[in-house]
Amino acid sequence: MSILDEIFAHKRDQVARQKMERPVESVRTAAERADEPRDFVGALRQNVAQPALIAEIKRASPSRGPLVEDFDPLQLAHIYQRNGAAAISVLTDARYFQGHLSFLTAVRRAVQLPVLRKDFVFDQYQVYEARAAGADAILLIVAMLEDYALRGLYRLTRSLGMEALVEVHDEEELARALQIEPRLVGINNRNLHTFEVDLETTARLRPLIPPEAAVVAESGIHTPADVSRLAAIGADAMLVGESLVVAQDTGAQVRRLAIPSATRVKICGFTNLPDAHAALDAGADMLGFNFYPQSKRYIEPARCAAIVKGLRDHGAPVTTVGVFVNASRDEVASIMTTCGLDLAQIHGDEPPEFVAAFGGQAFKGLRPESPDGARSDATRFARAEAPALLVDARRPGEYGGTGHTGDWDLARELAAQYPILLAGGLTPDNVTAAVAQVHPWGVDVASGVESSPGKKDAGKMAVFVKAARERPR
């Protein structure tokens, strides 16, 4: 008996026991009362130039056993969301992967991304169970399902508002899958018999799939080169698990795969919801809100909370950042909670331990006084579990938003060692050159896309984002 046969046999026994403990009528009622599902396919098609990342929360595997000692699904979910994942997959099988359905429920409540239940689904009971737990999508493995079962499970999944990732391994399975006209097809690059992995499986099967179906490549994705290959093949998304979970720096690995070539754009200093929506329409990845009272772009926490709520209510996939200058830890934490912010940008004279206290949800804004000082500060703050470093221009007595250009040569040196956000005097006219010279992880702009302090210009924002991601001629 193969490991897959063993898993399937165990699952049949497990579901039979679950039905006795909790009748299907009860689970169906809970599923029908669950919160409305999030748009899983829509999340994967936000960026047509880059395969979207479905980042997996995986505690163990049958072949390798436990993957990490200190497994924290919520921490992983937050890291995935902050660093560019489009969706999250949660393994819920207990016996072979040490997962649990409660992990999915907790993750779904903690993040704004859509969530996939990754398990061996063969019974309608499991579909209702997934929706009741908050799943936005489930996995259907063609290799383990007869045609009638595949069709019935798919119809039920869609009737509950969820999406189904219909997984295939070869041409025969794909032909069977296409009979149900799926909106989402997963191509597993792992051979079920030899367990060898080959990305060319996706290359071989992709042309056979209609363009209206989104295609997800699974297994064997570890490097930006792999992602570039998938982009060339025409994959819409990729599902990655072990290489993220076991990475020494999970956030950095997520960034390497989610944004290997595109420059992330942060626009800072928002004071109203229409401007925030215009920034998202322009393609901005991060929106910043300034809580430094002396800033021309200062915003009251209550007003910021209303803007963030307006964005979340419309399902806007964006990272929100609060900018703080010499505020207390309690004040920063309180405002982040009140406003529902994802990250804190610490932009004053705070030490590394101040940033580290936020456990990866804060990063430092550096204003280099000298090259040696910048190198020293970058080393110190990079150890504070920060997702990135912001490198700004220095003006005595001022804490950012000056409109002055910084030292791009120094920034380039730092960008070769750390993920940095380049700030300081960037405009639609110079950002392409800045990116070409510095090669930053992202860029940060405020005054360069404004009509007046705190009032954004939609046209300038659109041009800036486009220019930040263009290659110079």
Helix (H) or strand (E) holding 149: helix 147-159
Amino acid found at 120? F
Give me the long-range contacts of 346-353 (CB less than 8 A, separation at least 24).
Answer: 347/292, 347/323, 347/390, 347/392, 347/399, 347/400, 348/292, 348/324, 348/399, 350/326, 352/380, 352/381, 352/383, 352/384, 353/384
Closest residue by Cα to residue 257 from 86, 45, 117: 86
Confirm whether 430 is a catalytic residue. Answer: no
Active-site residue (options: 89, 219, 295, 447): 219
Confirm whether 300 is a catalytic residue. Answer: no
Active-site residue (options: 11, 118, 266, 364): 118
The values of phi and psi at residue 82, to 5°, are: -65, -30
Confirm whether 219 is a catalytic residue. Answer: yes
Active-site residue (options: 218, 350, 385, 450): 218
Q: Do the Cβ atoms of 46 and 52 come closer than 8 Å?
A: yes
The values of phi and psi at residue 122, to 5°, are: -140, -5
Confirm whether 11 is a catalytic residue. Answer: no
Confirm whether 47 is a catalytic residue. Answer: no
What share of residues in the chain are helix, strand, coil (percent, to 5)? 40, 20, 40
Q: Do the Cβ atoms of 305 and 338 come closer than 8 Å?
A: yes
Active-site residue (options: 11, 58, 266, 456): 58
Active-site residue (options: 11, 56, 129, 364): 56
Q: Do the Cβ atoms of 85 and 53 come closer than 8 Å?
A: yes
Confirm whether 212 is a catalytic residue. Answer: no
Active-site residue (options: 129, 163, 167, 385): 167
Quote the tokens at residue 301.
């926490």
CA distance 329 to 333: 6
Q: Do the Cβ atoms of 50 and 329 come closer than 8 Å?
A: no
Closest residue by Cα to residue 71 from 97, 41, 105: 97
- For residue 33, give Cα distances in angstroms to 36, 129, 175, 407: 9, 12, 35, 56
Active-site residue (options: 83, 89, 188, 295): 188
**Enzyme catalytic residues:** 56, 58, 118, 167, 188, 218-219
